[in-house]
């Protein structure tokens, strides 16, 4: 069985403990690789090498650093099929999705930040005829990056690329549930000739390797994407150490549908915003609010389309819904479906585990599930399920739907379907979320600020926001004598 390795000081290394963790293929329920069970010793070693690498890396010109990132992007692109296959096996997502979305986006993350850093500038302030203030934006040293399992390489590189482009060295930990493409990235970095120690990838558990990154005094900033509970624990450790923190956390995103929308476009997109990647995208809409006059029609048309989705082997071209990432998560989703029924909900379609014949007979699959009849304040409508489960809720007025949409602790993304431009503007200003999509979903421009409000996060990633996060602004005030 293949044993993955850490990437420290530019080489692949075994963990200090010499212990390994089983890595499961969720579509078969079988262990298919093992990953290092790293701990503090591995992180300490990585920090020593990152510290050594920092002066050389930060003194390169932006163009020179960008050159390495473009090379890494080109090599991932060259190995697109292998990366997509690895992502699909590790996460359970359909292979065609990994090939068309996850891996191309990882390539784009490197390309985007390689370009962005060459366009990055800082401010100057003409104070008076003899005084000029200008802002120096310098990398701070070593950044820690911790990412989740749902979009493994996509989110891992979303953090690493801007940190490296800005001139920092990085200690990064992918989710222990999906380590494979991060390991392949370390092989690519070696091939691209990335200077040693600039990027270090440590595999292992959050409570060991992850917390060693967060608490290391020489790691000056932590960028984290994951659950709100973990984000709170990380903030509890990093904040008293005065580290810079970027937290991209959970969501319970509302989709608000008005009768004046483009119905067909809305219907197609709402199926995608509900069930793409088995609903395991932080941006998926999980609570669907529908204007009362079209509720019955939507309910019927939506259920018809959802029933037609094919749950099955992630490697098959016609699969829409792949496997749930882990047994533990599979059980959590089923718990919430059961809870929704106990709280008075009615299942319109789905609601059950799916048994797939053949290769995937022991995999973890759940039917795409649509539930109605639940109060917007009940637990399944307030807590993040993060699976192929959505609820339908009718509404009568703008005020009512806004009140319900804003009623959770989260505020990551929201979707609004309406043909009324005035309403779209009015509501966008009142929705409490970091992103509002009007008449679309998941349309991403990497220059825009990305992040959530309330318990969905702190700070923004993307575009210049990311480059600002990964640099320390210094005000230089010059008096001309």
Q: Does 388 bind ligand NDP (CB under 6 A)?
A: no
Q: Is 226 in the site for ligand NDP (CB under 6 A)?
A: yes
Q: Which residue has the tokens 């991403």?
A: 444
Residue 449 near ligand NDP by CB under 6 A: no
The pattern of x and - marking residues 407 through 436 that bind ligand NDP according to CB under 6 A reads -----x------------------------
Residue 231 vs 312, nearer CB to ligand NDP: 231
* Beta-strand relationship, 2-3 and 346-349: unpaired
Query: Which residues are designated catalytic?
Result: 248, 282
State the nearest-atom distance from the C-beta of 415 to ligand NDP, in Å. Answer: 16
Q: Does 210 bind ligand NDP (CB under 6 A)?
A: yes
- SS percent in the chain: helix, strand, coil, step 5: 45, 25, 35
Burial zone of 481 (CB within 10 Å; 0-12 exposed, 13-18 middle, 19+ buried): exposed
Tell whether residue 234 is a contact of ligand NDP (CB under 6 A): yes
Inter-axis angle of helices 152-165 and 180-192, nearest 10: 40
Among 36, 92, 167, 250, binds ligand NDP (CB under 6 A): 250
CA-wise closest residue to 179 among 206, 203, 160, 154: 203
**How many CA atoms are closer than 13 Å to the CA of 161, on its beta-carbon side?**
32
Instruction: Count residues binding ligand NDP (CB under 6 A).
Output: 32
- The residue range among 42-50, 186-194, 202-210, 467-475 that interacts with ligand NDP, by the rule CB under 6 A, is 202-210
CA 45 to chain CA centroid, Å, is: 27
Query: Residue 216 and residue 144: Cα distance in Å, rounded?
Result: 9
Q: Does 207 bind ligand NDP (CB under 6 A)?
A: yes
Q: The tokens of 478 are what?
A: 């010059």
| CB of 175 or CB of 418, closer to ligand NDP | 175
Indicate whether 148 belongs to the interface with ligand NDP (CB under 6 A): yes
Q: Is residue 176 involved in binding ligand NDP (CB under 6 A)?
A: yes
3-state secondary structure of 378: coil
Q: Is 394 in the site for ligand NDP (CB under 6 A)?
A: no
| 238 lies in the site for ligand NDP, by CB under 6 A | no
Distance CA 260, CA 336 (A): 33
Distances (CA, A) of 478 to 86, 126, 132, 265: 54, 10, 5, 57
Q: CB-wise, 386 or 437, nearer to ligand NDP? A: 386
Judged by CB under 6 A, the residue of 72, 117, 177, 385 near ligand NDP is 177
E-state strands within 355-388: 369-372
Nearer residue to ligand NDP within complex by CB, 298 or 386? 386
Please choose, out of 8-16, 149-157, 189-197, 315-323, the segment that lies near ligand NDP by the rule CB under 6 A. 149-157
State both tokens at 215: 């608490």
Give the shortest CB-407-to-ligand NDP separation in angstroms. 18
CB closer to ligand NDP out of 147 and 166: 147
Alpha-helical segments (H) within 239-326: 263-275, 292-307
**In the complex, minimum distance from the CB of residue 98 to ligand NDP, in angstroms, rounded to a whole number:** 16
- Contact with ligand NDP (CB under 6 A) among 76, 282, 370, 389: 282
Tally of CA atoms within 13 A in the half-sphere of 291 that contains its CB: 14
CB of 294 to ligand NDP, least distance (A): 29
Residue 326 as a binder of ligand NDP (CB under 6 A): the answer is no
User: Which run of H or E residues covers position 404?
Assistant: helix 398-405
Using the Cα atoms of residue 215, residue 221, residue 225 and residue 227 in order, give the sign of their dihedral.
Answer: positive
Interacting residue ranges for ligand NDP, rule: CB under 6 A: 146-150, 155, 173, 175-177, 205-207, 210-211, 214, 225-227, 230, 233-234, 248-251, 282, 384, 386, 412, 452, 457
């Amino acid at each position: 069985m293949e044993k993955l390795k850490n990437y420290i000081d530019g080489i692949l290394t075994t963990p200090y403990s010499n212990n390994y963790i089983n890595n499961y293929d969720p579509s078969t329920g079988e262990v298919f690789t093992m990953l290092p069970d790293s701990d503090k010793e591995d992180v300490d070693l990585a920090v020593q090498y990152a510290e050594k690498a920092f002066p050389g890396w930060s003194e390169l010109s932006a163009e020179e650093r960008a050159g390495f990132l473009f090379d890494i992007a080109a090599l991932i692109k060259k190995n697109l099929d292998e990366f997509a296959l690895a992502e699909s096996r590790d996460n359970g997502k359909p292979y065609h999705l990994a090939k068309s979305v996850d891996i191309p986006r990882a390539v784009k993350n490197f390309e985007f930040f390689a370009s962005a850093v060459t366009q990055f500038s800082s401010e100057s302030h003409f104070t008076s005829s003899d005084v000029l203030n200008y802002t120096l934006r310098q990398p701070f040293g070593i950044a820690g990056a911790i990412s989740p399992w749902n979009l493994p390489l996509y989110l891992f590189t979303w953090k690493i690329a801007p940190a490296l482009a800005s001139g920092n060295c990085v200690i990064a930990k992918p989710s222990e549930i999906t380590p494979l493409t991060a390991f392949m990235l370390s092989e690519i970095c070696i091939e691209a000739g990335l200077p040693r120690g600039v990027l270090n990838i440590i595999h292992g558990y959050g409570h060991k390797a992850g917390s060693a990154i967060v608490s290391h005094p020489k790691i000056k900033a932590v960028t984290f994407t994951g659950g709100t509970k973990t984000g709170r624990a990380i903030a509890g450790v990093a904040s008293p150490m005065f580290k810079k923190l970027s937290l991209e956390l959970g969501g319970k995103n509302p989709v608000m549908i008005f009768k004046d929308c483009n119905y067909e476009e809305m219907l197609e997109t709402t199926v995608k915003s509900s069930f793409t990647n088995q609903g395991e995208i932080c941006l998926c809409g999980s609570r669907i609010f529908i204007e009362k006059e079209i509720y019955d029609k939507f309910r019927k048309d939506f259920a018809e389309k959802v029933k037609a989705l094919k749950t099955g082997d992630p490697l098959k071209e016609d699969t829409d819904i792949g496997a749930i990432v882990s047994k533990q998560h599979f059980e959590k989703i089923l718990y919430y479906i059961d809870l929704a029924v106990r709280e008075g909900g009615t299942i319109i379609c789905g609601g059950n585990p799916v048994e797939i014949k053949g290769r995937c007979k022991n995999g973890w699959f759940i039917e795409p599930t649509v539930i109605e009849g639940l109060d917007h304040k009940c637990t399944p409508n307030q807590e993040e399920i993060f699976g192929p489960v959505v609820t339908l809720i009718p509404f009568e007025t703008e005020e009512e739907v806004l009140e319900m949409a804003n009623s959770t602790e989260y505020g990551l993304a929201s979707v609004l379907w309406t043909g009324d431009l005035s309403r779209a503007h009015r509501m966008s200003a009142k929705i409490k979320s970091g992103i509002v999509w009007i008449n679309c979903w998941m349309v991403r421009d990497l220059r825009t600020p990305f992040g959530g409000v309330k318990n969905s996060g702190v700070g923004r990633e993307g575009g210049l926001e990311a480059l600002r996060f990964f640099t320390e602004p210094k005000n230089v005030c010059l008096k001309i004598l």
